[in-house]
Amino acid sequence: MPLLARLSSLRLLNQSLSDSELIKENTEWEQEQLHSLEERGRLLLSLQFLPPSVEGDAETRKGGLYVGVRRCAHLAAMDVNGFSDPYVKTYLKPDVQKKSKHKTAVIKKTLNPEFNEEFFYEISLTELVSKTLEVTVWDYDLGRSNDFIGGVCLSCQSQGDALRHWMDCLRNAGQRVERWHVLTNELPQSSCQE
């Protein structure tokens, strides 16, 4: 992408990202929504957008989004033993070819798992603005379907903390931005569309 076009798209991005009134409205909306949803625990995520570079390995030279799944706290117990066997899935949507799925290892018998796993999505900043990062936590069940514990969606259409985290990542290219997210029993459909 020519430098002038990239600067122009970044200027437009910064104008849309600097709207503090939108974030205030989103915070009020988030509080209303959380009262109607069941909290299923919390998830610590780190996001870092790396712009294209001439240095580094082939993967990072192209630029993209690092998603760090750090840990969960106070997860809902899904098994009869009072624990869960959690793992985390991430998708960058829309994903027509279903190639963006990443999954952590399963951590057995815990409500406070430590994952410390990172996933990389090769993508430009202008493409990332129109994407949604869907992060879901599941309870692994051998021989049965896995149980959905909770999830969160991060995008420019998100609300509250999810929106703030996404915008901080987009605004601060090259910097790792870490934030806790409340996991709810339902994903907000407006921000997790395919």
What is the rounded CA–CA span in Å between residue 87 and residue 170? 26
Q: What integer pLDDT is reported at residue 1 of this predicted model?
A: 45
Question: What total number of domains does the chain contain?
Answer: 1
How would you write the pLDDT of the chain (194 residues) with one tens digit per residue? 443 444 445 445 555 545 555 555 555 555 555 556 789 999 999 999 998 875 666 555 678 999 999 999 999 999 999 999 999 999 999 987 778 899 999 999 999 999 999 999 999 999 999 999 999 999 999 988 999 999 999 999 999 999 999 999 999 999 999 999 999 998 766 556 55
Q: What integer pLDDT is reported at residue 33 of this predicted model?
A: 53
CATH number of residue 130's parent domain: 2.60.40.150
Q: What integer pLDDT is reported at residue 113 of this predicted model?
A: 98
Q: What integer pLDDT is reported at residue 193 of this predicted model?
A: 54
- Note if the pTM is more than 0.85: no
Q: What integer pLDDT is reported at residue 7 of this predicted model?
A: 42
Structural domain that includes position 28: 3-191
Q: What integer pLDDT is reported at residue 5 of this predicted model?
A: 46
Beta carbons within 10 angstroms of residue 59's beta carbon: 11
Which tokens belong to 153? 């969606």
